[in-house]
A and B are shown apart, each in its own frame.
Chain A
Amino acid sequence: MQASPHSLTIAGKTYRSRLLVGTGKYKDFSETRAAIDASGAEIVTVAIRRTNIGQNAGEPNLLDVLPPAQFTILPNTAGCYTAADAVRTLRLARELLDGHPLCKLEVLGDPSNLFPNMPETLKAAETLVKEGFEVMVYCADDPIQATMLEDIGCVAVMPLASLIGSGMGIVNPWNLRLIIDRARVPVLVDAGVGTASDAAIAMELGCDGVLMNTAIAHARQPLLMASAMKKAVEAGREAFLAGRMARKFYSADPSSPTTGLIGS
Chain B
Amino acid sequence: MELVINGESRQFPSPLTVAELVAALHHAGKRIAVERNGDIVPRGRHAETALVDGDRIEIVVAVGGG
| Interfacial chain B residues near A45, Cβ < 8 Å | 65-66
Q: Is the CB of A49 within 8 A of B63?
A: yes
Q: Is the CB of A62 within 8 A of B25?
A: no
Q: Is the CB of A53 within 8 A of B33?
A: no
Q: Looking at the assembled complex, report how far the CB atom of A24 sits from the nearest CB atom of chain B, in whole angstroms.
A: 4
Q: How many residues of B contact A (CB 8 A)?
A: 28
Q: List 8 A-B contacts (CB under 8 A).
A: A50-B58, A51-B27, A62-B62, A76-B65, A88-B38, A97-B62, A164-B66, A211-B66
Q: Is the CB of A92 within 8 A of B58?
A: yes
- From B8, B38, B43, B65, A53 is in contact (CB under 8 Å) with B8
Residue picked from A61, A64, A73, A97, most chain B C-beta under 10 Å = A61
Q: Does B40 contact A (CB under 8 A)?
A: yes
- Docked complex: B1-49 residues within 8 A CB-CB of A: 5-8, 10, 24-27, 30-35, 38, 40, 42-43
Chain A-chain B contacts (Cβ-Cβ < 8 Å), number = 105
- From B7, B58, B63, A62 is in contact (CB under 8 Å) with B63
Report how far A181 CA is from B13 CA in the complex, Å. 61
Q: Is the CB of B40 within 8 A of A92?
A: yes
Report how far A211 CA is from B60 CA in the complex, Å. 24
Query: Which of B's residues lie within 8 Å of A, judged by CB?
Result: 5-8, 10, 24-27, 30-35, 38, 40, 42-43, 58-66
| Interfacial chain B residues near A53, Cβ < 8 Å | 5-6, 8, 10, 25, 59
Q: Is the CB of B40 within 8 A of A91?
A: yes
Residue picked from A22, A53, A95, most chain B C-beta under 10 Å = A53
Report how far A92 CA is from B42 CA in the complex, Å. 9
| Interfacial chain A residues near B25, Cβ < 8 Å | 51, 53-54
Q: Is the CB of A50 within 8 A of B65?
A: no
Q: Looking at the assembled complex, report how far the CB atom of B57 sits from the nearest CB atom of chain A, in whole angstroms.
A: 9
Q: Does A75 contact B (CB under 8 A)?
A: yes
Report how far A226 CA is from B6 CA in the complex, Å. 35
Report how far A264 CA is from B59 CA in the complex, Å. 83
Q: Looking at the assembled complex, report how far the CB atom of B56 sits from the nearest CB atom of chain A, in whole angstroms.
A: 12
